[in-house]
Amino acid sequence: MTALTLSTAAAAGLRADAIVIGVAKGAKGPVPAPGAEAVDKAYDGRLAGVLETLGASGAEGEVTKLPAPAGLKAPLVVAVGLGAEPEKDSSFAPETLRKAAGVAARALTGAKKAAFVLPLGDAGDVGAVAEGVLLGAYSFDTYKENNASGAKARNGKGPLAEAALLGGKPRDAAYKAALARATAVAEELNRARDLINMPPNDLNPEVFASIVQAAGKEHGLKVQVLDVKALEKGGYGGILGVGAGSASGPRLVKLSYTSSKAQKHLALVGKGITYDSGGISLKPAGHNETMKCDMSGAAAVFAAVVSAARLGLEVNVTGWLALAENMPSGSATRPGDVLRMYSGKTVEVLNTDAEGRLVLADALWAASAEKPDAIVDVATLTGAMMLALGSRTFGIMSNDDAFRTAVHEAAEEVGEPAWPMPLPEHLRKGMDSPTADIANMGERMGGGLVAGLFLREFVGEGITWAHLDIAGPAFNDGGPFGYTPKGGTGSAVRTLVRLAELVGAGDLG
């Protein structure tokens, strides 16, 4: 990953491959943002005009590359668009800086060192730029011949190796803390992306569990893995039922971070389907090519718990990863089968492609037994949520209106688009089963909400719970944007970390 430093060096004298400046969209054309003064001076004060000549407008996402004038040591200036100029007496929003830093970092793929002189107001802005750089520079090339460690390494264009952030205060505790927080969270988030991008022939439930075990050792976390035998003994009918068709058996992984100063306990539950073929209710071609992403919820929970540990948050955080591969075979669960779940409830499986709710149900019930102050589950649960909210926004459902609002505010604060969704009571009866206590499918309309209502049945009495359906934003099928790469995005990681901080501070749950 890109190495980050806070530097007091002057932009003009810095030896680097490039200097990154911000450019805003002014009423009459591009306006160099605060921080770019030294660069402007090197252009004899003509930077705005040069940018305009090159067709720059300052729009968000825009990258303009300029040859540097003689006064600068670096040979290249990269001007990144920041969008509209802020109102008088206010500054650029952290998310604007995060996105711009990400765009610039990606534009510098292959470069060794870049200096960033973006408009930094406070320590929070430094954290945002740091996150943007580290997340935007990400690339997944493990399986490419010409990756950094591969046979053709010299031909490979690795991510930006080093970034110096200018204009911050390297000796100020708040700035140092912001940089450290951004680094820890971005590293874990990028690791979650790696897991999501890993092909499903290499990442099965067993391998995922062993990766969690190794990380647990590294960071002093307690990891308990329930294998098939233990799941059978415990009566985890949901997880076993979904994993029944696969040659790679399912696992339930419990990952615990405890702080001696904790007053509160947050439980996080992640859907970890390492590949979702649909099972006997097989998905048609065109709907299964990216279904390796169906463990994005578990990857997000994993990253959030490790982040909490690295940040030393004063809260207990338990992650529950419900891992299974959903495959058709002679041993697979059939539509019509009834599963006896860990909670004791029975479920008639009408569609084996509605498997996420089955594994989550067991994990939610297991999490509930510890009576945490709140449970948040994260899952690529329904195509219906994508239809409702598009591919960049996740849906939030909850059994507690105030908690749902708090989760939404946390998401907004960290720059993750999210939206509250209801759990309409009338949709529950669509899941009535003539045979079992409940069916795993209901009305087609409002399918994302139906799934939320199903999960609610497996949350322990009186426990505050929220459900994040990240089916849309978990995996980016399109081109990269802002600090979001193609492929696995790490959706929900930053929201979960923020929630853990808030719960720890006693502001929530």
Which residues of the shown chain bind Mn ion in the complex (CB under 5 A)? 276, 353, 355
Stretch that binds Zn ion, among 238-246, 260-268, 353-361, 370-378 (CB under 5 A): 353-361
* Closest CB to Zn ion: residue number: 276
Choose, from 99, 106, 310, 357, the residue flagged as catalytic: 357
Please state the three-class secondary structure of 115-152 as a single string. Answer: EEECCCCCHHHHHHHHHHHHHHCCCCCCCCCCCCCCCC
In sequence order, the 6+-apart residues with CB closer than 8 A to the CB of 305 are: 221, 255, 256, 257, 268, 317, 318, 319
**Is the Cβ of residue 31 or residue 381 nearer to Mn ion in the bound state?**
381
Which one of Mn ion, ligand BES, Zn ion, none interacts with residue 447, CB within 5 to 8 A by kind? ligand BES
**Is the Cβ of residue 108 or residue 242 nearer to Mn ion in the bound state?**
242
Which one of ligand BES, Zn ion, Mn ion, none interacts with residue 188, CB within 5 to 8 A by kind? none
Q: How far is the CB of 347 from Zn ion (least distance, A)?
A: 16
- By CB under 6 A, name the binding residues for ligand BES: 276, 294, 351, 353-356, 380-384, 386, 441, 447, 471
Choose, from 41, 169, 176, 283, the residue flagged as catalytic: 283
Closest CA to 182 of 494, 482, 473: 494
**Is the Cβ of residue 194 or residue 355 nearer to ligand BES in the bound state?**
355
**Is the Cβ of residue 74 or residue 293 nearer to Zn ion in the bound state?**
293
In sequence order, the 6+-apart residues with CB closer than 8 A to the CB of 231 are: 239, 240, 250, 251, 252
Q: How far is the CB of 291 from ligand BES (least distance, A)?
A: 6
Tell me: does residue 325 bind Zn ion (CB under 5 A): no
Which one of Mn ion, ligand BES, Zn ion, none interacts with residue 383, CB within 5 to 8 A by kind? ligand BES
DSSP 13: G
Q: How far is the CB of 254 from ligand BES (least distance, A)?
A: 23
**DSSP per-residue letters across 224-250:** EEE-HHHHHHHT-HHHHHHHTT-SS--
Q: Which listed residue (356, 448, 452, 504) binds Zn ion by CB under 5 A?
A: 356
Q: How far is the CB of 444 from ligand BES (least distance, A)?
A: 8
Q: How far is the CB of 451 from ligand BES (least distance, A)?
A: 7
CB 253 within 8 A of CB 209: yes
* Closest CB to ligand BES: residue number: 383
In sequence order, the 6+-apart residues with CB closer than 8 A to the CB of 62 are: 23, 56, 80, 81
Q: How far is the CB of 452 from ligand BES (least distance, A)?
A: 12
Which one of Mn ion, Zn ion, ligand BES, none interacts with residue 346, CB within 5 to 8 A by kind? none
Count of alpha carbons within 13 angstroms of residue 227, beta-carbon side: 5
Closest CA to 497 of 84, 3, 131, 24: 131
* Closest CB to Mn ion: residue number: 353
Which one of ligand BES, Zn ion, Mn ion, none interacts with residue 441, CB within 5 to 8 A by kind? ligand BES
Residue 357 annotated as catalytic: yes
**Is the Cβ of residue 111 or residue 471 nearer to ligand BES in the bound state?**
471
Q: How far is the CB of 266 from Zn ion (least distance, A)?
A: 24
Q: Which two tokens stand for residue 267?
A: 């439980």
**Alpha-carbon gap, residue 505 to 502, rounded angstroms:** 5
For residue 251, what are the β-bridge partners? Answer: 323
**Alpha-carbon gap, residue 504 to 259, rounded angstroms:** 10
SS3 state of residue 294: helix
**Is the Cβ of residue 280 or residue 317 nearer to ligand BES in the bound state?**
280
Widest CA span of the chain, in angstroms? 80
Q: How far is the CB of 321 from ligand BES (least distance, A)?
A: 16
Which one of Mn ion, ligand BES, Zn ion, none interacts with residue 100, CB within 5 to 8 A by kind? none
Rounded (10°) angle between helices 296-311 and 205-219: 10
SS3 state of residue 318: strand
Stretch that binds Zn ion, among 92-100, 287-295, 473-481, 493-501 (CB under 5 A): 287-295
First to last CA, the chain: 34
Which one of Zn ion, Mn ion, ligand BES, none interacts with residue 351, CB within 5 to 8 A by kind? ligand BES
**Is the Cβ of residue 102 or residue 447 nearer to ligand BES in the bound state?**
447
Q: Which listed residue (276, 314, 362, 377) binds Zn ion by CB under 5 A?
A: 276
Q: Which residue has the tokens 């940018």?
A: 51
In this structure, the chain runs to a length of 509
**Is the Cβ of residue 26 or residue 383 nearer to ligand BES in the bound state?**
383
| Per-residue interface string for the shown chain with Zn ion, residues 255-274, x marking contact by CB under 5 A | ------------------x-
Q: How far is the CB of 219 from Mn ion (least distance, A)?
A: 32
**Alpha-carbon gap, residue 295 to 471, rounded angstroms:** 10
| CA pseudo-torsion sign 312, 313, 318, 323 | negative
Within 10 Å of residue 290's Cβ, how many Cβ atoms?
16
Q: Which two tokens stand for residue 112?
A: 């060794």
Q: Which listed residue (125, 131, 294, 416) binds Zn ion by CB under 5 A?
A: 294
**Is the Cβ of residue 324 or residue 463 nearer to ligand BES in the bound state?**
324
Q: Would you name the residues annotated as active-site residues?
A: 283, 357
Q: Which residues bind Zn ion (CB under 5 A)?
A: 273, 276, 294, 356
